[in-house]
Amino acid sequence: MKRILFAVCLALVLGAGAFAQFTFYLIDNFENGEFAEGSKWWRFGNVKTEITHNATPEGRDIIAESCGNYSLGLFGTANNWYVGGIGTEIGVDAAEFSRFQIDISGDKELHGKLIVELFDDDNNNFTIEQDPQKNYEAINDDKWLAEINIQGKGFTRTSVPFTAFRDANPGVGNDTWDPFQKDGSGGLLKLQLVLIADKVDGKCALNLDNILLTY
């Protein structure tokens, strides 16, 4: 019943979109029950993916209710702490947004970190060039990084201000946070989510939902 009420409320919000400006940009919430690998998302490293049917929350849980029916499970075994991750093209003018937001449900035993990587266009060609000889690092554009500690089971909402992201490749690009589609720039072009285990060869698992940019 709660999910039905949430769907009705969401429909009302969407219906009001013609009259009010949205305060977020949805990257994905996986409510189509699919992980569109190849067409929208790519996967790298040892990460495995699985669309999961979310459990009905016990009691009042606004965050869990907002996660709807499906989320994306990520899991895998680390090689020197690194498990791998997923990425997607964004291609949005982020001038009107100030935060990255995501809902995460962890595992009771398999902990770690989620690294959020954002790439902005600095050479005005709507492309992030990468060097396959250097782990596909960006060679002309900025990469911005923030870390999120993975907590236990149950969805937790994390909202990271853009000011908390650090320049992960100084000397590449213009070293300035400017994900704006102006003066020929493609703006904020790409997102990657990288899974890091809490042990050098440990396992890690979590579920992701409601990945978005917001004010």
Query: What is the band of 22 on the pLDDT scale with cuts at 50, 70, 90?
Result: low
pLDDT at 69 (0 to 100): 96
pLDDT for 25 beyond 90: yes
pLDDT over 70 for what percent of the chain? 90
CA 151 vs. chain centroid, Å, equals: 16
pLDDT at 16 (0 to 100): 44
pLDDT at 13 (0 to 100): 46
- For the chain, domain boundaries: 25-52+70-214
Q: Measure the CA–CA gap between 83 and 42, rounded to whole angstroms.
A: 15
Query: What is the band of 23 on the pLDDT scale with cuts at 50, 70, 90?
Result: confident
pLDDT at 57 (0 to 100): 82
pLDDT at 110 (0 to 100): 87
pLDDT over 90 for what percent of the chain? 82
Q: Which fold has domain 25-52+70-214?
A: Jelly Rolls (2.60.120)
- Among the listed residues 168, 114, 161, 160, the one whose alpha carbon sits nearest the alpha carbon of residue 141: 168
Reading the block at residue 138, the tokens are 């960006």
Q: Measure the CA–CA gap between 171 and 138, rounded to whole angstroms.
A: 11
pLDDT tens-digit profile of 203-213?
999 999 999 99
Q: Measure the CA–CA gap between 165 and 186, rounded to whole angstroms.
A: 19
CB contact at 8 A, 101 and 160: yes
pLDDT tens-digit profile of 129-162?
999 999 899 999 999 999 999 999 999 999 999 9
**Average pLDDT of 109-125?**
96
pLDDT for 172 beyond 50: yes
**Average pLDDT of 5-15?**
44
Of the candidate ranges 21-25, 126-130, 189-193, the one whose mean pLDDT is the lowest: 21-25
pLDDT at 20 (0 to 100): 45
pLDDT tens-digit profile of 102-112?
999 999 888 89
- DSSP string across the chain: -HHHHHHHHHHHHHHGGGTS--SEEEEE--TTS---BTTTEEEEET-EEEEEEPPPPSS--HHHHHT-SEEEEEEEE-BTTEEEEEEEEEEE-GGG--EEEEEEE--SS--EEEEEEEEE-SSSSS---EEGGGTTEESSSEEEEEEEE--SSS-EEEEEEGGG-EESSTTSTTSS------TT---EEEEEEEEEESSTT-EEEEEEEEEEEE-
